[in-house]
Chains A and B, each alone.
Chain A
């Protein structure tokens, strides 16, 4: 008895000491800016790409342009690994002292970062910038949350249908022109050549599945007055889900293998000659070129429901934004313009193959490089974007849609039940994000 009392007293004292030391709450940082200095060092985080050298050269040229106008400013560029970017950027929001002034970020993260209080509103500067007039509307949408602009688009990425010309020639078939034809062609190929997936699909390949939902007029979520409500369980969306999931099975891409695949795995399967078709991005071009199918493939826009139509693709890509905590706001915005301006984007396309976000620059690029033509055509037909809600980040990272596809293709739930469950989870995420 006595002993336990003896232990209790100092233990309580320790806890108390801990309480007073920390002020009783976990850490919250103040990301507000402390001023707007016109000299000093700007720190920039950009993504480290596979084969980063050409990107560095383009960025260096853009920084040199910027320095001509701002003699007193210094710029430090750091390339951060794509795999750990989420942690790095979260850490930057948490600790403004060591945060950079500008970051490159994936456009699906825009709404989430805005809600986190990380990105600065640059609407006024963006509106006054003459080059921004030519920004493609979908790209502009990807930096816009609640009518305000939080950065400038750096490039867009879009997916289309890669197919093996040698296999198609061998079987005497042509590239599919409708969604129904796409599915029947895939199954025909797998029947004739059982060691090939007809069309490589993945249960975790959300961005490859979305065009199927959008093609029939389905939506991921409907917006009204700034709030989102899941529409993944609408009749139109369900038709798309059915079409996509019908591709999993022993007649095309066996569920046991394909249910777990993500986008990269399907592209790898295509590049290594294990699939006759795959849904890949313009950014997958290098990987496919490096594979065993080099010179034996072509790309067309992913067909829609009717002949000649294009299934709306997901407009991915990256943006560059100014951090709210930056103490050099004016300088940072100028550097952002320099890094995402027409000159830089044109050069970036030549160096890295990233599609420009300006319609005129993109048209010029398509003339130079033939392989981007189907991707530009896909964008021209109208690409779509994920709901601009901070809830999307959570929907994405908690794998709600991959779970739905996997439940269906593994036979656990039917389309109706799985999409209802997914809609419920999405609504909860939208509500959480408020």
Chain B
């Protein structure tokens, strides 16, 4: 099976490499100086845009995280002072930060796993059902995808309302309050996050499966492979680039969950039990105007996400996949 799949891919990759190297070598001859700058000239608009929209804000974020910068400094009541790593020391010395970080990591991991599982399972299901049910499933998923997070969260809250919600009535839970317990509140939010983020995984993976040549799948079926076996040994390896992308996307999204927690647990739950990093940063930066502390949390999040993504990409590359 593996031999088959590499053979299928080989011409594409090696062909591209072979043709692209030659003209590049030959060109520089007439005017070496100009051609060195030409690509940069073409890249300039994109670089300026990236610099303005990405590099500059991150630079400001990093800068503010090293200053004492609260409302008093913004509006000129007190001078801005340099704190060095003071904000980071405060942050790392705060036991609540570590609790929130742990909760965020566990919660994000659970969300990513759940999203990938449900998304992939439904993508496979899409390929095995007839046109009408497929259309219905697609529409339902796209509906969930298109719903703004704040609307979804609010509707979800109504569905699970202890006094008026239909869910408690159907399940016969009486006036059970979902947001009171820490785990039930996280579970409720997880369901909502899952609901609004599985469609992306499903649609992307479905498109990927569609691109797999049917002969390969037929061959596997003829060899007597079960559905699970086909997924594990044929589809998953061939879908690997797509799976990598949706996994990284999901990690980034779920690590940064804000709206769902903020709306569904009223800003972090009873006694802050459902805080995640993004909401915590918001509470610090904007609710209590400690912009510098909020920035420090932002920088920590950025570093964690970059590290997770890099490690993940490395792991994937080591397994022999070029992205």
Are B180 and A28 closer than 8 Å at their CB atoms?
no
Q: Given A30-B76, A90-B289, A403-B272, does the pair A260, B63 have CB atoms closer than 8 Å? A: no
A400 to chain B, nearest CB (A): 10
B303 to chain A, nearest CB (A): 18
Specify which chain A residues have a CB less than 8 angstroms from the CB of B289 in the assembled complex: 90, 393-394, 397
Are A26 and B287 closer than 8 Å at their CB atoms?
no
Taking the complex as formed, is B247 at the interface, i.e. its CB lies under 8 A from any CB of chain A? no
Chain-A contact segment, one of B66-74, B221-229, B305-313: B66-74
List residues of chain A with CB under 8 Å of any chain B CB: 6, 10-11, 14-15, 18, 24-32, 90, 93-94, 112, 115-118, 203, 255-257, 259-260, 390, 393-394, 397-399, 402-403, 406-407, 410, 412, 432
A49 to chain B, nearest CB (A): 24
Q: Which of A10, A260, A402 contacts B179 (CB 8 A)?
A: A260
Specify which chain B residues have a CB less than 8 angstroms from the CB of A412 in the assembled complex: 271
A-B interface, 6 closest residue pairs, ranked by CB to CB distance from nearest? A117-B77, A93-B75, A406-B271, A256-B177, A256-B180, A14-B51
Are A117 and B67 closer than 8 Å at their CB atoms?
no
Indicate the member of A18, A28, A118, A407 with the most B CB atoms within 10 Å: A28
Q: Which residue of A lies closest to B265 (CB)?
A: A260
Q: Which residue of B lies closest to A396 (CB)?
A: B288
Specify which chain B residues have a CB less than 8 angstroms from the CB of A203 in the assembled complex: 270
Q: Given A406-B270, A412-B271, does the pair A398, B75 have CB atoms closer than 8 Å? A: no
Q: Which residue of A lies closest to B39 (CB)?
A: A6
Q: Which of A29, A93, A255 contacts B180 (CB 8 A)?
A: A255
A374 to chain B, nearest CB (A): 30
Q: Given A90-B289, A257-B175, A257-B177, does the pair A117, B76 have CB atoms closer than 8 Å? A: yes
Specify which chain A residues have a CB less than 8 angstroms from the CB of B79 in the assembled complex: 28
Q: Can you list 10 A-B pairs, Cβ within 8 angstroms, ordered by A?
A: A11-B55, A18-B55, A94-B75, A257-B175, A260-B179, A394-B290, A397-B288, A399-B267, A402-B271, A432-B290
A405 to chain B, nearest CB (A): 8
Q: Which residue of B lies closest to A406 (CB)?
A: B271
Specify which chain B residues have a CB less than 8 angstroms from the CB of A115 in the assembled complex: 72, 77-78
Are A403 and B271 closer than 8 Å at their CB atoms?
yes
Q: Which of B59-108 contact A (CB under 8 A)?
A: 59-60, 63-64, 67, 69-80
Q: Given A14-B55, A397-B288, does the pair A259, B71 have CB atoms closer than 8 Å? A: no
Determine the distance from Cα of A6 to Cα of B60 in the docked complex, in whole angstroms: 25
Task: List 17 additional contacts besides A10-B40, A397-B288; criterion CB under 8 Å.
Answer: A14-B55, A18-B51, A18-B55, A18-B56, A24-B63, A26-B80, A27-B74, A28-B73, A29-B75, A32-B76, A90-B74, A93-B74, A117-B76, A203-B270, A260-B270, A390-B72, A406-B270
Q: Which residue of B lies closest to A405 (CB)?
A: B271
Q: Given A10-B47, A25-B80, A256-B177, does the pair A116, B72 have CB atoms closer than 8 Å? A: yes
Specify which chain B residues have a CB less than 8 angstroms from the CB of A24 in the assembled complex: 63
Determine the distance from Cα of A116 to Cα of B60 in the docked complex, in whole angstroms: 21
Taking the complex as formed, is B266 at the interface, i.e. its CB lies under 8 A from any CB of chain A? yes
Q: Given A30-B76, A115-B77, A398-B288, does the pair A93, B272 have CB atoms closer than 8 Å? A: no
Are A117 and B75 closer than 8 Å at their CB atoms?
yes
Specify which chain B residues have a CB less than 8 angstroms from the CB of A118 in the assembled complex: 75, 77
Specify which chain B residues have a CB less than 8 angstroms from the CB of A112 in the assembled complex: 71
Taking the complex as formed, is B283 at the interface, i.e. its CB lies under 8 A from any CB of chain A? yes
Are A407 and B271 closer than 8 Å at their CB atoms?
yes
Q: Which of B260-276 contact A (CB under 8 A)?
A: 266-267, 270-272
Are B74 and A28 closer than 8 Å at their CB atoms?
yes
Indicate the member of A14, A26, A118, A203 with the most B CB atoms within 10 Å: A26
Q: Which residue of B lies closest to A25 (CB)?
A: B80
CB < 8 Å A-B pair total: 112
Are B78 and A117 closer than 8 Å at their CB atoms?
yes
B32 to chain A, nearest CB (A): 14
Determine the distance from Cα of A116 to Cα of B289 in the docked complex, in whole angstroms: 11
Specify which chain B residues have a CB less than 8 angstroms from the CB of A410 in the assembled complex: 180, 270-271
Q: Which residue of A lies closest to B287 (CB)?
A: A397
B230 to chain A, nearest CB (A): 41
Are A28 and B80 closer than 8 Å at their CB atoms?
yes
Determine the distance from Cα of A407 to Cα of B272 in the docked complex, in whole angstroms: 9
B67 to chain A, nearest CB (A): 7
Determine the distance from Cα of A15 to Cα of B59 in the docked complex, in whole angstroms: 8
Taking the complex as formed, is B162 at the interface, i.e. its CB lies under 8 A from any CB of chain A? yes
Are A398 and B175 closer than 8 Å at their CB atoms?
no
Determine the distance from Cα of A410 to Cα of B80 in the docked complex, in whole angstroms: 41
Determine the distance from Cα of A15 to Cα of B60 in the docked complex, in whole angstroms: 11
Q: Which of A11, A94, A402, A406 contacts B74 (CB 8 A)?
A: A94
Are B76 and A28 closer than 8 Å at their CB atoms?
yes
Interface 1/0s, chain B 37-52, versus A by CB < 8 A?
0001000000110010
A270 to chain B, nearest CB (A): 15
Determine the distance from Cα of A390 to Cα of B77 in the docked complex, in whole angstroms: 12
Are A93 and B40 closer than 8 Å at their CB atoms?
no
Q: Which residue of A lies closest to B292 (CB)?
A: A26
Determine the distance from Cα of A94 to Cα of B180 in the docked complex, in whole angstroms: 39
Specify which chain B residues have a CB less than 8 angstroms from the CB of A397 in the assembled complex: 287-289
Specify which chain A residues have a CB less than 8 angstroms from the CB of B76 in the assembled complex: 28-32, 93, 117
Determine the distance from Cα of A402 to Cα of B271 in the docked complex, in whole angstroms: 7
Determine the distance from Cα of A267 to Cα of B74 in the docked complex, in whole angstroms: 37
A138 to chain B, nearest CB (A): 26
Determine the distance from Cα of A403 to Cα of B99 in the docked complex, in whole angstroms: 15
Are B180 and A18 closer than 8 Å at their CB atoms?
no
Specify which chain B residues have a CB less than 8 angstroms from the CB of A11 in the assembled complex: 55
Q: Which residue of A lies closest to B44 (CB)?
A: A10
Are B55 and A31 closer than 8 Å at their CB atoms?
no
Q: Which of B63, B270, B283 contacts A25 (CB 8 A)?
A: B63
B252 to chain A, nearest CB (A): 23
Determine the distance from Cα of A28 to Cα of B81 in the docked complex, in whole angstroms: 12
Determine the distance from Cα of A10 to Cα of B290 in the docked complex, in whole angstroms: 34
Determine the distance from Cα of A68 to Cα of B271 in the docked complex, in whole angstroms: 54
Determine the distance from Cα of A115 to Cα of B272 in the docked complex, in whole angstroms: 28
Determine the distance from Cα of A399 to Cα of B273 in the docked complex, in whole angstroms: 13
Are A31 and B75 closer than 8 Å at their CB atoms?
yes
Q: Which of B40, B63, B75 contacts A26 (CB 8 A)?
A: B63
Determine the distance from Cα of A410 to Cα of B270 in the docked complex, in whole angstroms: 8
Specify which chain A residues have a CB less than 8 angstroms from the CB of B271 in the assembled complex: 402-403, 406-407, 410, 412
Q: Which of B56, B69, B272 contacts A399 (CB 8 A)?
A: B272
Q: Given A257-B162, A397-B287, A403-B271, does the pair A116, B40 have CB atoms closer than 8 Å? A: no
A9 to chain B, nearest CB (A): 9
Specify which chain A residues have a CB less than 8 angstroms from the CB of B60 in the assembled complex: 26
Specify which chain A residues have a CB less than 8 angstroms from the CB of B78 in the assembled complex: 115, 117
Determine the distance from Cα of A118 to Cα of B162 in the docked complex, in whole angstroms: 44
Indicate the member of B175, B176, B270, B283 with the most A CB atoms within 10 Å: B270
Indicate the member of B76, B80, B162, B287 with the most A CB atoms within 10 Å: B76
